[in-house]
C-alpha cells in the first residue's frame, strides 16, 4: 500500500503536517532514512541534495531532485516529460528537474522546434517573487501596504524595493555579466532539447507578481514559419494551451496561469528582425510546472510505463 513520509531539517522534525485529511509527522532528513522509500523528492537546495542523494541512491531509492546540483551532470538526465521522457529510462538513480524559467520557456518552444527546427532564441523573463520564497511574497505584500499607508518601505529580501518596481537581476552575476539564472536557461535548454549548439541569450527580471512566471521570446528557426502553423503546433502540444486572439485581447497572464497544469502561449507573430522568426509570449506557474508538478509528472510517467518498482515487490 502506498504511503507518504515527510522529511526536513532537525529543526522541523516532530512537526505535524495535515494533507488530504491525514496527519503526518515530519522526520529528520539524514543518512539511513531511505531504506524503505521508493521515491524521494528533494526540494531543499543543493547542499541537502549533495549530502543525502548518494545515500538514497545507495539504498535503492530513486531521487527526483529540484535543486540545480545535478542538472548539468552528464550522467544525470534533466527531464521535462513532455519533451525528453527517454531520460527516465536511462537514469542511474537520480533525475534532475529544470529551472522554473527554463521549464516554462520550453513549453512554448518545444512544439515550435518540432515544427520548424529551433536555431536560436532571445528571451526576457518576468519572474514572480514566489520564485525567491515565502519571505519574498511577504516583503512584496508589506511594501504595498506601506506604500498605501505612507509608511517606511523595508527591503530585506531584495536589494531594491520590489513593489511597483522591476529588478533586472535573478541570481548572482557571473564574470561574463550574465546571472546564474540566465546561464541556466541557456545550458538547460541545450541539454533538455538535445541541441548542444543552440544559441541562447536571456535577461531575467524579477517583477512585483506573486505567482507564475512569464517570458517574452524571439526565436529563429531553420525552416520557414507561419503564424497558422505555429498556433497549430502549440495547440497540439500536451504541455501548452494556446490563448491567442489579440483582437479580443486574449493572451496568457500570470494570474490566469497560477495553479494551472499547462502553460499558456500567445501573441504569436512573425518576428520582424529574424529570418524564419517568431515572437511569442508564455506564462506558467513557477511553483507547479516550474517545480513540484514537473517532478511529480516524471514519477507518474515512470509508474505508468513500469519503470518504477516498489521495494516490497522486488
Report pLDDT digits (tens) over 273-290: 999 999 999 999 999 999
Residue 62 lies in a domain: yes
What's the CA dihedral at 211, 216, 220, 224 to 10 degrees?
90
Share of the chain above pLDDT 70, in %: 98
> Is residue 181 within 8 Å of 99, Cβ to Cβ?
yes
Maximum CA extent, the chain: 64
Confidence of residue 44 (pLDDT cuts 50, 70, 90): confident
Mean pLDDT of the 154-167 span? 98
The span from the CA of 54 to the CA of 24, in Å, is 25
> Is there a single domain that holds both residue 147 and residue 41?
no
pTM of the model: 0.94
Number of domains forming the structure of the chain: 2
pLDDT digits (tens, 9 = 90+) for 81-127: 999 999 999 999 999 999 999 999 999 999 999 999 999 999 999 99
Gap between the Cα atoms of 138 and 135, Å rounded: 5
Domain for residue 2, yes or no? no
- Based on the domain organization, do 227 and 142 belong to the same domain? yes
Q: 100: phi > 0 → left, psi -120 to 50 → alpha, else beta; which?
A: alpha
Tell me, yes or no, whether 106 and 160 share the same domain: yes
Residues 144-158: tens digit of each pLDDT: 999 999 999 999 999
Residue appearing with cell numbers 522554473: 100
Same domain, 168 and 203: yes
The torsion angles phi and psi of 59, rounded to 5 degrees, stand at -85, 5
CATH value at residue 155: 3.30.360.10
Q: Are residues 265 and 301 in the same domain?
A: no
Contact assessment for residue 214 and residue 282, using Cβ atoms and an 8 Å cutoff: yes
Q: What is the pLDDT of residues 205-253, one digit of tens each?
A: 999 999 999 999 999 999 999 999 999 999 999 999 999 999 999 999 9
CA dihedral for 214, 261, 86, 110, sign (positive or negative):
negative
The pLDDT value given to residue 97: 97
> Do 163 and 241 fall within a single domain?
yes
| pLDDT at 313 > cutoff 50 | no
- pLDDT of 312 > 60? The answer is no
* Domain contains 29: yes
In a domain, 132, yes or no: yes
Q: Do 221 and 249 have their domain in common?
A: yes
Note whether residue 67 is domain-resident: yes
pLDDT reported for residue 311? 62
Residues 130 and 258 grouped into a single domain? yes
Domain containing 167 equals: 101-286
Q: Is residue 307 part of a domain?
A: yes
In a shared domain, residues 91 and 106: no
The mean pLDDT value of the chain amounts to 95
Q: Can you list the pairs that 34-41 forms with residues at least 24 positions away whose Cβ atoms lie under 8 Å?
A: 34/59, 34/61, 35/59, 36/311, 37/5, 37/61, 38/62, 38/308, 38/309, 38/310, 38/311, 39/64, 39/299, 39/308, 40/7, 40/64, 41/66, 41/292, 41/295, 41/296, 41/299
On whether residue 1 sits in a domain, the answer given is no
Residues 193 and 258 in one domain: yes
Inter-CA distances, 211 with 59, 185, 246, 264, Å = 36, 19, 24, 14
Tell me, yes or no, whether 107 and 194 share the same domain: yes
Q: What is the CATH number of the domain that holds 74?
A: 3.40.50.720
Catalytic residues: 100, 213
Assess if residue 300 is contained within a domain.
yes
Shared domain for 161 and 113, answered yes or no, is yes
Query: And the C-alpha cell for 107?
Result: 513549453
pLDDT for the residue numbered 249: 98
Amino acid at each position: 500500500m502506498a504511503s507518504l513520509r515527510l522529511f526536513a531539517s532537525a529543526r522541523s522534525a516532530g512537526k505535524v503536517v495535515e494533507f488530504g485529511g491525514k496527519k503526518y509527522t515530519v522526520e529528520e532528513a539524514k543518512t539511513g532514512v531511505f531504506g524503505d522509500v521508493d521515491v524521494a523528492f528533494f526540494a531543499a537546495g543543493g547542499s541537502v541534495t549533495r549530502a543525502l542523494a548518494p545515500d538514497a541512491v545507495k539504498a535503492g531509492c530513486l531521487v527526483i531532485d529540484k535543486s540545480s546540483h545535478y542538472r548539468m551532470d552528464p550522467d544525470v538526465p534533466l527531464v521535462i516529460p513532455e519533451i525528453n521522457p527517454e531520460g527516465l529510462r536511462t537514469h542511474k538513480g537520480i533525475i534532475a528537474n529544470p529551472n522554473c524559467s527554463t521549464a516554462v520557456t520550453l513549453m512554448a518552444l518545444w512544439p515550435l522546434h518540432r515544427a520548424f527546427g529551433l536555431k536560436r532564441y532571445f528571451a526576457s523573463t518576468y519572474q514572480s517573487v514566489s520564485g525567491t520564497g515565502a519571505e519574498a511574497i511577504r516583503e512584496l505584500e508589506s511594501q504595498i501596504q506601506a506604500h498605501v499607508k505612507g509608511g517606511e518601505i523595508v527591503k530585506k529580501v531584495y536589494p531594491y524595493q520590489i513593489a511597483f518596481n522591476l529588478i533586472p537581476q535573478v541570481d548572482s552575476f557571473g564574470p561574463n555579466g550574465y546571472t546564474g539564472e540566465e546561464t541556466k536557461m541557456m545550458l538547460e535548454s541545450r541539454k533538455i532539447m538535445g541541441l548542444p549548439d543552440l544559441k541562447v541569450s536571456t535577461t531575467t527580471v524579477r517583477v512585483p507578481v506573486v505567482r507564475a512566471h512569464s517570458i517574452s521570446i524571439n526565436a529563429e528557426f531553420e525552416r520557414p514559419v507561419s503564424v497558422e502553423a505555429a498556433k497549430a503546433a502549440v495547440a497540439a502540444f500536451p504541455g501548452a494551451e494556446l490563448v491567442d486572439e489579440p483582437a479580443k485581447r486574449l493572451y496568457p497572464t500570470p494570474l490566469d496561469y497560477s495553479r494551472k497544469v499547462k502553460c499558456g502561449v500567445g501573441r504569436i507573430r512573425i518576428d520582424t528582425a529574424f529570418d524564419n522568426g517568431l515572437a511569442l509570449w508564455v506564462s506558467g506557474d513557477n511553483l507547479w510546472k516550474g517545480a513540484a508538478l514537473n517532478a511529480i509528472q516524471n514519477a507518474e510517467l515512470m509508474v505508468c510505463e513500469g519503470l518504477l518498482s516498489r521495494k516490497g515487490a522486488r
